[in-house]
Amino acid sequence: DAGVTQTPRHEVAEKGQTIILKCEPVSGHNDLFWYRQTKIQGLELLSYFRSKSLMEDGGAFKDRFKAEMLNSSFSTLKIQPTEPKDSAVYLCASSLGGGLYEQYFGPGTRLTVL
Amino acid sequence: GDSVTQTEGPVTLSEGTSLTVNCSYETKQYPTLFWYVQYPGEGPQLLFKVPKANEKGSNRGFEATYNKEATSFHLQKASVQESDSAVYYCALGVNSAGNKLTFGIGTRVLVRP
Protein backbone atom coordinates (compact mmCIF):
# COMPACT_ATOMS: atom_id res chain seq x y z
CA ASP A 1 0.00 0.00 0.00
CA ALA A 2 1.07 3.53 -0.70
CA GLY A 3 1.95 5.63 2.29
CA VAL A 4 0.99 9.25 2.89
CA THR A 5 1.88 11.42 -0.09
CA GLN A 6 2.66 15.12 0.19
CA THR A 7 3.28 17.61 -2.59
CA PRO A 8 5.27 19.61 -3.22
CA ARG A 9 8.30 18.50 -1.23
CA HIS A 10 9.74 21.99 -1.28
CA GLU A 11 8.05 25.36 -1.68
CA VAL A 12 9.51 28.83 -1.78
CA ALA A 13 7.13 31.77 -1.44
CA GLU A 14 7.38 35.51 -1.22
CA LYS A 15 5.90 37.21 1.82
CA GLY A 16 2.19 37.82 1.29
CA GLN A 17 1.66 35.02 -1.21
CA THR A 18 -0.93 32.28 -0.92
CA ILE A 19 0.37 28.73 -0.94
CA ILE A 20 -1.48 25.43 -0.99
CA LEU A 21 0.06 22.23 0.27
CA LYS A 22 -1.46 18.87 -0.68
CA CYS A 23 -1.79 15.55 1.11
CA GLU A 24 -3.11 12.13 0.13
CA PRO A 25 -3.63 9.89 3.19
CA VAL A 26 -3.24 6.14 3.33
CA SER A 27 -6.19 4.52 1.59
CA GLY A 28 -8.92 3.56 4.07
CA HIS A 29 -7.71 5.81 6.86
CA ASN A 30 -10.38 7.93 8.52
CA ASP A 31 -8.29 10.43 10.49
CA LEU A 32 -6.03 13.08 8.99
CA PHE A 33 -3.69 15.48 10.74
CA TRP A 34 -1.68 18.50 9.68
CA TYR A 35 1.37 19.49 11.75
CA ARG A 36 3.95 22.22 11.61
CA GLN A 37 7.46 21.15 12.58
CA THR A 38 10.20 23.49 13.73
CA LYS A 39 13.35 22.93 15.77
CA ILE A 40 12.15 25.27 18.49
CA GLN A 41 8.54 24.13 18.86
CA GLY A 42 8.75 20.56 17.61
CA LEU A 43 5.47 19.17 16.22
CA GLU A 44 2.49 21.53 16.49
CA LEU A 45 -0.97 20.33 15.52
CA LEU A 46 -2.64 22.55 12.95
CA SER A 47 -5.78 20.55 12.12
CA TYR A 48 -7.40 17.20 12.84
CA PHE A 49 -10.11 15.63 10.65
CA ARG A 50 -12.18 12.55 11.37
CA SER A 51 -14.10 11.12 8.43
CA LYS A 52 -13.70 14.49 6.68
CA SER A 53 -15.17 16.44 9.62
CA LEU A 54 -12.96 19.01 11.28
CA MET A 55 -12.39 17.91 14.89
CA GLU A 56 -9.77 20.44 15.89
CA ASP A 57 -8.42 23.57 14.35
CA GLY A 58 -5.29 24.75 16.19
CA GLY A 59 -6.29 28.03 17.79
CA ALA A 60 -3.04 29.87 17.26
CA PHE A 61 -3.13 29.02 13.57
CA LYS A 62 -6.70 29.88 12.71
CA ASP A 63 -6.11 33.29 11.20
CA ARG A 64 -4.05 32.45 8.15
CA PHE A 65 -4.11 28.66 8.03
CA LYS A 66 -7.01 26.71 6.58
CA ALA A 67 -7.09 22.97 6.09
CA GLU A 68 -9.77 21.21 4.07
CA MET A 69 -10.63 17.64 3.19
CA LEU A 70 -12.19 17.71 -0.26
CA ASN A 71 -12.78 13.98 -0.10
CA SER A 72 -11.57 11.05 1.96
CA SER A 73 -8.42 10.73 -0.10
CA PHE A 74 -7.27 14.33 -0.48
CA SER A 75 -6.59 17.26 1.82
CA THR A 76 -5.13 20.71 1.39
CA LEU A 77 -3.54 23.23 3.71
CA LYS A 78 -3.75 26.84 2.59
CA ILE A 79 -1.61 29.54 4.13
CA GLN A 80 -2.78 33.03 3.24
CA PRO A 81 -0.98 35.38 3.38
CA THR A 82 2.39 33.81 4.09
CA GLU A 83 4.89 35.39 6.48
CA PRO A 84 8.58 34.59 6.98
CA LYS A 85 7.79 33.04 10.37
CA ASP A 86 5.79 30.37 8.53
CA SER A 87 9.03 28.86 7.25
CA ALA A 88 8.94 25.29 8.56
CA VAL A 89 8.27 21.69 7.55
CA TYR A 90 4.57 20.86 7.21
CA LEU A 91 3.69 17.26 7.88
CA CYS A 92 0.53 15.38 7.06
CA ALA A 93 -0.38 12.16 8.88
CA SER A 94 -3.25 9.72 8.70
CA SER A 95 -4.64 7.04 10.98
CA LEU A 96 -7.24 4.30 10.86
CA GLY A 97 -9.28 5.91 13.60
CA GLY A 98 -11.32 4.25 16.28
CA GLY A 99 -8.95 4.99 19.10
CA LEU A 100 -5.24 5.51 19.45
CA TYR A 101 -4.00 3.89 16.29
CA GLU A 102 -0.61 4.57 14.82
CA GLN A 103 -0.27 7.79 12.85
CA TYR A 104 1.44 7.41 9.50
CA PHE A 105 3.35 10.49 8.44
CA GLY A 106 4.19 11.77 5.00
CA PRO A 107 7.69 13.04 4.16
CA GLY A 108 6.63 16.65 4.67
CA THR A 109 6.77 19.86 2.65
CA ARG A 110 9.58 22.25 3.47
CA LEU A 111 8.27 25.81 3.13
CA THR A 112 10.57 28.80 2.90
CA VAL A 113 9.01 32.25 2.98
CA LEU A 114 11.28 35.09 1.88
CA GLY B 1 -3.93 20.05 29.43
CA ASP B 2 -1.79 17.08 28.53
CA SER B 3 1.95 17.56 28.18
CA VAL B 4 5.13 15.63 27.43
CA THR B 5 8.64 16.63 28.51
CA GLN B 6 11.70 14.90 27.14
CA THR B 7 15.50 15.15 27.20
CA GLU B 8 16.79 18.27 25.53
CA GLY B 9 19.09 17.49 22.66
CA PRO B 10 21.27 17.08 20.88
CA VAL B 11 22.55 13.95 22.54
CA THR B 12 25.90 12.89 21.08
CA LEU B 13 27.43 9.52 21.78
CA SER B 14 29.75 6.94 20.27
CA GLU B 15 28.79 3.68 18.61
CA GLY B 16 28.47 0.83 21.08
CA THR B 17 27.51 3.02 24.02
CA SER B 18 24.14 3.06 25.72
CA LEU B 19 21.38 5.58 25.12
CA THR B 20 18.70 6.92 27.43
CA VAL B 21 16.21 9.57 26.39
CA ASN B 22 14.03 10.67 29.28
CA CYS B 23 10.32 11.25 28.84
CA SER B 24 7.85 12.45 31.46
CA TYR B 25 4.19 13.11 30.90
CA GLU B 26 1.25 14.84 32.52
CA THR B 27 -2.37 13.95 32.01
CA LYS B 28 -5.44 13.53 34.16
CA GLN B 29 -6.56 10.60 32.03
CA TYR B 30 -5.23 7.13 31.32
CA PRO B 31 -2.79 7.43 28.40
CA THR B 32 -1.30 5.23 25.77
CA LEU B 33 2.36 6.10 25.31
CA PHE B 34 4.34 6.16 22.07
CA TRP B 35 7.88 6.57 20.83
CA TYR B 36 8.34 7.81 17.28
CA VAL B 37 11.60 8.12 15.34
CA GLN B 38 12.33 10.52 12.49
CA TYR B 39 15.24 10.02 10.11
CA PRO B 40 16.54 12.87 7.94
CA GLY B 41 14.25 13.73 5.04
CA GLU B 42 11.42 11.55 6.31
CA GLY B 43 8.35 11.94 8.46
CA PRO B 44 8.20 10.43 11.95
CA GLN B 45 7.43 6.74 12.14
CA LEU B 46 6.21 4.66 15.04
CA LEU B 47 8.92 2.88 16.99
CA PHE B 48 6.49 1.25 19.42
CA LYS B 49 3.56 2.00 21.69
CA VAL B 50 2.49 0.78 25.13
CA PRO B 51 -1.16 1.03 26.13
CA LYS B 52 -0.92 -0.43 29.59
CA ALA B 53 0.80 0.73 32.74
CA ASN B 54 3.88 -1.18 33.89
CA GLU B 55 4.31 -2.88 30.53
CA LYS B 56 7.31 -2.60 28.27
CA GLY B 57 7.45 -1.82 24.59
CA SER B 58 10.38 -2.67 22.34
CA ASN B 59 11.52 -2.57 18.73
CA ARG B 60 14.88 -2.59 16.91
CA GLY B 61 16.74 -2.93 20.22
CA PHE B 62 14.98 0.06 21.79
CA GLU B 63 12.75 -0.37 24.80
CA ALA B 64 10.71 1.68 27.25
CA THR B 65 8.60 0.85 30.28
CA TYR B 66 5.36 2.69 30.99
CA ASN B 67 5.86 3.71 34.63
CA LYS B 68 2.53 5.02 35.87
CA GLU B 69 3.74 5.90 39.37
CA ALA B 70 6.63 7.98 38.07
CA THR B 71 4.68 9.17 35.00
CA SER B 72 7.70 8.30 32.89
CA PHE B 73 8.43 6.43 29.66
CA HIS B 74 12.19 6.60 29.18
CA LEU B 75 13.67 5.24 25.94
CA GLN B 76 16.74 3.04 26.22
CA LYS B 77 19.08 1.13 23.96
CA ALA B 78 22.03 -0.84 25.24
CA SER B 79 24.35 -0.40 22.28
CA VAL B 80 23.69 2.25 19.62
CA GLN B 81 24.78 2.24 16.00
CA GLU B 82 25.48 5.12 13.66
CA SER B 83 22.20 4.31 11.90
CA ASP B 84 20.32 5.21 15.12
CA SER B 85 21.09 8.87 14.51
CA ALA B 86 17.66 10.46 14.32
CA VAL B 87 15.15 12.58 16.21
CA TYR B 88 13.11 10.69 18.80
CA TYR B 89 9.65 11.85 19.89
CA CYS B 90 7.76 10.74 22.96
CA ALA B 91 3.98 11.10 22.67
CA LEU B 92 0.81 10.36 24.56
CA GLY B 93 -2.75 9.78 23.51
CA VAL B 94 -5.94 9.62 25.53
CA ASN B 95 -9.25 8.13 24.46
CA SER B 96 -11.18 11.34 24.86
CA ALA B 97 -8.98 12.98 22.25
CA GLY B 98 -9.60 10.36 19.58
CA ASN B 99 -6.42 9.66 17.68
CA LYS B 100 -4.86 13.00 18.50
CA LEU B 101 -1.43 12.72 20.09
CA THR B 102 0.50 15.14 22.29
CA PHE B 103 4.16 15.08 21.26
CA GLY B 104 7.27 16.06 23.15
CA ILE B 105 9.62 18.50 21.51
CA GLY B 106 11.86 15.75 20.16
CA THR B 107 15.42 14.74 21.03
CA ARG B 108 18.08 14.72 18.34
CA VAL B 109 20.50 11.83 18.80
CA LEU B 110 23.84 11.81 16.97
CA VAL B 111 25.87 8.62 17.02
CA ARG B 112 29.52 8.93 16.00
CA PRO B 113 31.33 5.95 14.47
Q: Is B83 in a helix, a strand, or coil?
A: helix
Tens-place pLDDT, residues B41-92:
999 999 999 989 999 999 999 999 999 999 999 999 999 999 999 999 999 9
**Residues of chain A contacting B104 with CB distance shorter than 8 Å:** 42
**Residues of chain A contacting B93 with CB distance shorter than 8 Å:** 100
Q: Determine the average pLDDT of the residues in B84-110.
A: 92
| B50/B87 Cα distance (integer angstroms) | 19
From the candidates A35, A37, A43, A104, which should be mutated to test the interface with B, based on the most B CB atoms within 10 A?
A: A43
Tens-place pLDDT, residues A18-62:
999 999 999 999 999 999 999 888 999 999 999 999 988 877 767
* Least CB–CB distance from A42: residue in B32, B41, B103: B103
- Beta carbons of A82 and A19 less than 8 angstroms apart: yes
Q: Determine the average pLDDT of the residues in A84-103.
A: 90
Residue of A nearest to B39 (CA): A107
- Beta carbons of A42 and A67 less than 8 angstroms apart: no
* Least CB–CB distance from A103: residue in B32, B41, B101: B101
Cβ burial, residue A114 (10 Å; 0-12/13-18/19+): exposed
- Beta carbons of A13 and A113 less than 8 angstroms apart: yes
Share of chain A above pLDDT 90, in %: 78
Query: What pLDDT, on a 0 to 100 scale, did the predictor assign at position A1?
Result: 62
How close B65 comes to chain A (CA, Å)?
Answer: 18
Position B100 pLDDT exceeds 90:
no
Contact A105 B43 (CB under 8 A): yes
